[in-house]
Amino acid sequence: MKTVPRVGLALLVISLAVSCKQGAKEEIMVGETSETVSSNVVSSSAAVENKDSNRKFIRTADIKFKVKNVAQSTYVIENATTKFGGFVTYTNLQSEILERNETKVSQDSTLESIKYQVKNDITIRVPNTKLDTVIKSIAKQINYLDYRVIKADDVSLQLLANQMAQNRSGNHEKRVENAIDTKGKKLNTIIDAEENLDAKKEQNDNSKLQNLSLKDQVNFSTLTLQIYQNEAVKHEMLANEKSINAYRPHIGLMLWDSVKTGWYFLENIIAFIVQLWGFILILAGGYFVYKKYYKQ
């Protein structure tokens, strides 16, 4: 009779253990699936080079996403870029202040609260064959994806057109040079031919430079990344500067300064009057003469 309850209890423990293991496996499966989905969402077939095709593509990617820590993700992205043979052409790591408040907590202290967001705009260039690999490596840093735009522009015909224009210009240069050497006799004719030759050489150089620029863009894809993190708040206690009133003298000193200022003013008046002694003497003499002779 006692064996049956023991068997039932053992079966219950085993079933609970099995269910826990299954739950753990399901959590691992979900985590792996989430990371795989994130990588697939960011990547695209437009970022993969087709080695069997003769077409030439300029591949670019524009991605904006949130990360846990902008500074750490920036280092990871820069290291991944270097690892796969690329280079960073622009990076602007900064903290944008969203709000600033000051709260006076005492006569001597003020609490400064700054609400800010760290972000970084990065431009990198990587070999065309490594674009998809770099994007998948960057996808591991994504906490929330705002958008991703990947483009593959076919420039095969443009490269061919520039090459044909370059060939035509080169052939024309040779004919003009030959004509100048063999048939150019008059100065005006030679000058016109030389100017025409310079124009053709410039056109040839422009076509060559355009082709070099296109080939560079084909060989190295450009990624423009905008990364940011959650808003944060920084609190800092600041010391208050003393008011100018704290340095004002007391009333007694102010009264004494006023007495001295009044005395100085009186001295100045007396000195000014003394400076006019000649004028005063003339007035006194005139008055004396007037009193004495005018009345008589």
Using CA atoms, how far apart are residues 147 and 167, in angstroms rounded to an integer? Answer: 43
Q: Which class for 156: exposed (0-12), middle (13-18), buried (19 or more C-beta within 10 A)?
A: middle
Task: Judge whether residue 245 has pLDDT over 80.
Answer: no
| Mean pLDDT value across residues 182-197 | 55
pLDDT value for 24: 40
Using CA atoms, how far residue 216 sits from 47, 104, 159, 163, 264, in Å, is 16, 59, 12, 15, 85
Least confident of 56-70, 115-129, 260-274: 260-274
DSSP H stretches of helix in 184-250: 187-219
Number of H helices, E strands in the chain: 7, 6
Identify the residue with better confidence: 123 or 20. Answer: 123
Domain ranges of the chain: 43-242
pLDDT value for 37: 41
pLDDT value for 51: 62
pLDDT value for 9: 53
Bridge partners, 151 (sequence order): 60
| Mean pLDDT value across residues 87-106 | 90
Identify the residue with better confidence: 34 or 244. Answer: 244
pLDDT value for 180: 56
pLDDT value for 11: 54
Is this prediction's pTM over 0.75? no
Give me the percent of the chain exceeding a pLDDT of 70: 66
Task: Judge whether residue 42 has pLDDT over 50.
Answer: yes
| Mean pLDDT value across residues 32-47 | 50
Question: Where does residue 85 fall: left (phi above 0), alpha (psi -120 to 50 degrees), or beta otherwise?
Answer: left
Handedness of CA 55, 56, 60, 61 (dihedral sign): positive
| DSSP assignment letter at 142 | -
8 A C-beta contact, residue 118 and residue 70: yes
| Mean pLDDT value across residues 103-117 | 86
SS (H, E, C) 22-49: HHHHHHHHHHHHHHHHHHHHHCCHHHCC
Task: Judge whether residue 62 has pLDDT over 50.
Answer: yes
Task: Judge whether residue 96 has pLDDT over 80.
Answer: yes
